[in-house]
Amino acid sequence: MLSHLSIRNIVLIEALDLAFAPGLGVLTGETGAGKSILLDALGLILGMRADSGLVRAGADLASVTASFEPGALHGAVARTLADAGVEVEPGEPILIRRQIKADGGSKAFINDQPASVALLREVAPYLVEIHGQHDDRGLVNPRGHRALLDRYARVDTAAMEAAWKAWGQAEARLAKTRAGIAKAAEDRELFQAHVAELEALAPQAGEEEELAGERATMQKGERLAGDLGAVQQVFAGSHSPLAELRVAARRLDRIAGEHPLLEEVLAALDRAMIEADDAEDKLNRALDALAFDPLALDRVETRLFDLRAAGRKHGCAVEDLPAKLEEMRSALSAIEGGEAEVAALEQAAAKARAAWLKLAEAASSARAEAALRLDAAVKAELAPLKLDAARFRTDVARLDEAQWGASGMDRVEFMIATNPGADFAPLAKIASGGELSRFILALKVALAEEGGAATMIFDEIDRGVGGAVAQAIGERLARLASSGQLLAVTHSPQVAARGGQHYFIAKSSDGLVTRTGVVLLDGSGRQEEIARMLSGAEITPEARAQADRLLERV
């Protein structure tokens, strides 16, 4: 519910602060006093395009602030805001502020947190409905007709939306599996060839590193073979240095006792032979380790080439070839077992479709039944509103399957025929603006128990009517306002008399500056304003007496 509205520097309004209460509030004033400015200001709060022409002449900045008290739709607003990153404390008012600069810049805030204009438009339907002479939203827009009928019919749209989502997910899983199997089937022969090739190659984990090490060792042996052979020849044969040392040692051994120095020479020779024997042993072992076999080297290099070629072919490292082989084996197995998986997913999708269809068919039946009740309820409201020749019909049509959605399989649109014998046409195409407003009022009264925005505003719904019709309009506005908040901009004294709050809009000028102001009228003020509305510029005693009678009837 709209509780406060503050306006600064909007067109002719310099500064205005208004408080609103539940029930029916009426706004009256002479033509041109500025009633439309109030609606334009409120439109900014609801996400209307910011026009720098709304900024009061001479001002740099204009602003509008509206406070909405928690109500039945507060939770829905809070969830919408939370999804957009704007936090609202439970039970706290929602404060929306919009600023416009004279150069055209615009900013919006919700509870002092920056917000986009798109977010204002998203929460607007929960907060305020405005019905005017050229309204193309709300009840006029057929996009919202199905939701209105669903609330009237008590259709469980949440369950249907959940079932639609489950069906969509089941179909998506089925389509993905089918596509994967189809792609794999196309590659079946290629997979089989690759698997056979890799199975023949039989790559092993760590094999590349091991083979590379063997090849490096053999290549080193090939390079060192000449030098090692020459060194080995030094130790070989009867005339090698080591053989000569052994001969010398044997001779010294026979004569070493002849002199101490000879014994030392013999000991030195023994040590030298021990070291030479150790060197010869290590040399022989090195020759074995670095043994070069051209055939073995060729086998190692061929194996490395084959492994690395396979890695390049399959786009992976040689180390990953065993895993690639298992992956392709699994793909082949999936092709073979795919039919069973697809059958299970088809069954699940069919089950999900049947579950949604059951709910959608029930919703369709409920809509058709509720449409008849709604038509009768609207019909009962038309005659008192001077629309007795008009007819109203709620069209519920079955959509093609391609157009089904989370809300069901039906298209819903409110249709009217304004003259006897005329064809039904969409509500949005009615010729007369006054008739349109009264049709909307009749429909709102019929749908009153199903709720709507927290605040409704009717802009000059009584244009062009008077007497009993205006009285009927006032009665219905009051009835609608009894369970919420309704503001009516009116030129009808019969409607104005029904208001629980009466705001008078007037324009004043000091010769230099023109301003629009709004005053909340007390009892005597209401009498004078309603008398003015009855008599015109000169308020007569008879007009005051008639105003009293209108107020007494309320």
Q: What is the pLDDT of residue 279?
A: 77
DSSP calls for 251-317:
HHHHHGGG-HHHHHHHHHHHHHHHHHHHHHHHHHHHHHHT---HHHHHHHHHHHHHHHHHHHHTTS-
Q: What is the pLDDT of residue 212?
A: 84
For the sheet with 128-131, list strands across it: 128-131, 455-459, 485-489, 23-28, 501-509, 514-520
Give 85-107 pLDDT, tens digit per residue.
888 887 788 999 999 999 888 99
At 136, the pLDDT band (50, 70, 90 cuts) reads very low
Structural domains of the chain in order of their starting residue, each with its CATH number: 9-59+128-163+353-553 (3.40.50.300), 190-332 (no CATH)
Q: What is the pLDDT of residue 253?
A: 77
Q: How far apart are CA 203 and CA 459, in angstroms?
A: 83
Give 265-312 pLDDT, tens digit per residue.
778 888 887 887 787 778 777 766 666 567 777 888 888 888 888 889
Q: How far apart are CA 136 and CA 345, in angstroms?
A: 45
Q: How far apart are CA 526 and CA 515, in angstroms?
A: 22
Give rounded-to-5 percent helix, strand, coil for the chain.
60, 20, 25
Q: How far apart are CA 493 and CA 527, in angstroms?
A: 10
What is the pairing mode between strands 106-110 and 410-417? unpaired
Give 439-478 pLDDT, tens digit per residue.
888 888 888 755 567 788 888 887 777 788 888 888 989 9
Q: Work out the percent of the chain whose per-residue pLDDT is above 70.
A: 90
Average pLDDT, the chain: 84
Q: What is the pLDDT of residue 234?
A: 66
Q: What is the pTM of this model?
A: 0.62
Q: What is the pLDDT of residue 225?
A: 62
Give 22-64 pLDDT, tens digit per residue.
999 999 988 777 788 888 899 999 998 888 889 998 899 999 9
